[in-house]
Amino acid sequence: MNRKLGALALAFLTVTMLAACGSTKASTTSSGKPKVSLMVGGLNKQIYLPFTLAKQLGYYDKYGIGVTLNDEPAGVDAETAMLAGQVNGVGGFYDHTIDLQTKGKQTQSVIQLLRAPGEVELCRTDLKGEIRSASDWSGRKLGVTGLGSSTNFLTKALAVHAGVAVDKVTPIAVQAGNTFIAAMQHKAIDCGMTTEPTITAVLQKHLGYVLTDMRSMEGTRQVLGGTYPSTSVYMQTDWVNNNRDTVQRLVNALVDTLHFIQNHTAAQIADQMPPDYYTGVGKAAYVKALDAEKAIYSPDGVMPADGPKTVYDVLSQFNPSMKGKTADLNATFTTAFVQQAVKDVH
């Protein structure tokens, strides 16, 4: 009996500590600057480029904030780390905030970095005659970065939209980069969803072909029916409310970075990035890919007006946790910080 009570007490203490993580104040650096830790779902992916670019440009220092960037190949694992209090926020897709709200977790996006997913569904070259669209997916193995990730969400949405039930496909977690490429080479997956520069690497090696392309606003609307805001910074709502100055400094740095992206060529942006970000494909191919999808980066960090509803509609097609539930979409994001950034960024 005592052992059972002890276990219950430990479980209660753990939950209490985790809940407290959402309301704690940000710590500071030795020089007194507020600190924030972010876990990003793949720092070397072009869809998450603004986080490293801001660091390379010195913008975190410019706005007086110490930022620690942690790399995690799958966004769902980054989400888990944030909920456990291991990091303060996530560099990941906005759709997680809606999914979490239906599970009773209150999080919000504080800045929207991308207006489209930047994702492509690639299928193995040897299957070109067999898989012409997602309607041919029944019984297929489909690669995603992680189970419960945004690529998993989008893959299921594509299947349902094409008339294929989600229980007729098998998601396989293959992350991105070399592990994704190896999964294609060894036929561990039939198709898979990934981003640049992995897309370019697969095409260069003639391992796959493009089935569905969401690297543009127009392509995304055709596939998903509207604007699908993707990369954001999302945090637990309590933490945001208790650390507004820290969040503002972070948003200011990222808005300034978005301005840099808008005002510079893909080649100039690539010049700022660490060389190992494009070693797998070569700098020229990296620049070409970035130039082709540059328009999906938000010019100002503002949430697109039709974005939250599009994301909700897509998720509700297949997500069992959303069946019969409504979502307070206004609680899943805030524009207050990007509106203030208009005054602060110079």
- What strand order describes the sheet that includes 107-112? 66-71, 35-40, 89-93, 231-236, 107-112
Total count of residues recorded for the chain: 346
Question: Quick check: do 37-116+229-344 and 119-214 share a fold?
Answer: yes
Domain boundaries, the chain: 37-116+229-344, 119-214
d(CA 94, CA 332): 8
Per mean pLDDT, which range of 106-110, 138-142, 148-152, 329-333 is the poorest? 148-152
The closest of 270, 324, 321, 323 to 293, measured between CA atoms, is 270
pLDDT digits (tens, 9 = 90+) for 110-133: 999 999 999 999 999 999 999 999
pLDDT digits (tens, 9 = 90+) for 299-340: 999 999 999 999 999 999 887 777 777 889 999 999 999 999
Percent of the chain with pLDDT over 90: 80
Residues β-bridged to residue 122: 192, 210
In the prediction, which pLDDT does 13 show? 38
Quick one: average pLDDT of 91-111? 95
Among 10-19, 109-118, 142-151, top mean pLDDT goes to 109-118
pLDDT digits (tens, 9 = 90+) for 164-194: 999 999 999 999 999 999 999 999 999 999 9
* Banded model confidence at residue 74, pLDDT cuts 50, 70, 90: low
For the domain made up of 37-116+229-344, give the CATH fold.
Answer: D-Maltodextrin-Binding Protein; domain 2 (3.40.190)
The closest of 341, 86, 104, 78 to 234, measured between CA atoms, is 78
In the prediction, which pLDDT does 23 show? 53
pLDDT digits (tens, 9 = 90+) for 259-298: 999 999 999 999 999 999 998 899 999 999 999 999 999 9
Q: How far is CA 171 from CA 81, 126, 153, 188, in A?
A: 22, 20, 10, 11
**Whether residue 197 has a cis bond before it, omega within 30° of 0:** yes
d(CA 240, CA 217): 30
d(CA 88, CA 75): 14
Q: Is the confidence at residue 98, as pLDDT, over 80?
A: yes
Quick one: average pLDDT of 143-155? 91
Q: Is the confidence at residue 234, as pLDDT, over 80?
A: yes
The CATH number of 119-214 is: 3.40.190.10
Per mean pLDDT, which range of 2-6, 34-38, 106-110 is the poorest? 2-6
* Banded model confidence at residue 72, pLDDT cuts 50, 70, 90: confident
Does the predicted TM-score (pTM) go above 0.85? yes
- Biggest CA–CA distance in the chain, Å, is 67
In the prediction, which pLDDT does 326 show? 81
Percent of the chain with pLDDT over 70: 92
In the prediction, which pLDDT does 213 show? 97
Q: Is the confidence at residue 26, as pLDDT, over 70?
A: yes
Q: Is the confidence at residue 19, as pLDDT, over 50?
A: no
Average pLDDT, the chain: 91
In the prediction, which pLDDT does 84 show? 92
Count Cα neighbours of 95 within 13 Å in the Cβ-side half-sphere: 27
Quick one: average pLDDT of 52-61? 98
